[in-house]
Amino acid sequence: MRFGMILRSFGVVLVLFGAVQAQAQNLPDPILIAHRGASGERPEHTLAAYERAIDAGADFIEPDLVPTKDGVLVARHENEISGTTDVADHPEFAARRKSVTIDGEALTGWFTEDFTLAELRTLRARERLPAIRPANTRFDGLWQVPTFAEVLALVRAKEAETGRRIGLYPELKHPSWFAAQGIDTAALLLPMLDKAGYRTADDPVFIQSFEAGPLERLRPMTKLRLVQLMASERGPPDRTGTSFAAMARPDGLSALARSVDAVGVEASMVLSADGKATPLVAAAHAAGLKVHVWTLRCENAFLPPALRRGNDPTAKGDCATAWQMLAQVGVDGVFSDNPREVQAARTARP
């Protein structure tokens, strides 16, 4: 979430904050979704990041899922892993570096689908944003890339430890790309969720994707809740000529409600450049859809000047106000890299 593109001045923050505060008192708290785990405190998509998020009070953890060569789902933000593992330091894998185009983006690096799980196990996770999160680099090299099975086991163990339900919010990354490689990631995911006891809309699971077709195909296959992700620009990678802007209009949202239960949208789609609420939340709710917003990051580098504290881009800014602004426009969930700070703001909310 780029709050700097949404808010221009501290005055705008205060206008919005005061204008909606009264009616917001009666709104339920949005669910807190730990984006890639507590990725502001630990390297993203590691078991340590997920456990840290759960201990901080996150309602859901979000594992992005990509497959290995031998068809095992693992947690990585992208299937290209040079930025989040030490693969470049492994000479035995040097020849696997290649260039491909995925969803219109040219990429060069190493890709999970070219590694067996056993090979991937020899790699170690690294901090993806070392310039912004230098403290996280002290954990570089400590943890492996986790499988989704390990994420499920962690959730069950933490539920037994804490006595509370912990939700899962997996994202199917590039499903059409993987289908073209002969790997059906949805067919890998659903049986694992079913075996773990996640089968109905009452279970704490949301399955998300930026692609529209896979979600439509999933609808008759599962009662678990599905989420269409949207950005402020472009459109679904599998739907040339369809824009997210069109999908976010009332008629588009009504059409989406036939196949999904919620939309996961960029923050600028619910808060306009002048700091006012856009029509999206009300329109989505009218269509019967929940609205989840991404991604609240607490470092100054990701916040507008009005919410920064000091000049250090790596320092934490006023994350509480950012969260409260989103809560006050009626969103149903917020993705955050910093569940500890957001949970503190949520607890302090009047």
Domain total of the chain: 1
Given this model, what pLDDT does residue 276 score?
86
Residue 16: inside a domain: no
Given this model, what pLDDT does residue 350 score?
63
Residue 120: inside a domain: no
pTM exceeds 0.95 for this model? no
Residue 184: inside a domain: yes
Given this model, what pLDDT does residue 272 score?
85
CATH of the domain at 227: 3.20.20.190
Instruction: Give the integer Cα–Cα distance in Å for 205 and 198.
Output: 7
Residue 127: inside a domain: no
Q: What is the mean pLDDT of each run of 10 residues along the chain (350 residues)?
A: 46 44 60 99 99 99 99 99 99 99 97 99 99 98 99 99 98 98 98 98 99 98 99 96 97 98 98 88 99 98 93 97 94 98 87
Q: Strand 105-109 and strand 98-102: pairing?
A: antiparallel
For the chain, strand residue ranges (E) read 31-35, 60-62, 64-67, 73-75, 98-102, 105-109, 167-168, 171-172, 206-209, 225-230, 262-266, 290-296, 333-336
Residue 42: inside a domain: yes
Domain boundaries, position 272: 31-77+143-348
Residue 119: inside a domain: no
Residue 125: inside a domain: no
Given this model, what pLDDT does residue 275 score?
75
Residue 102: inside a domain: no
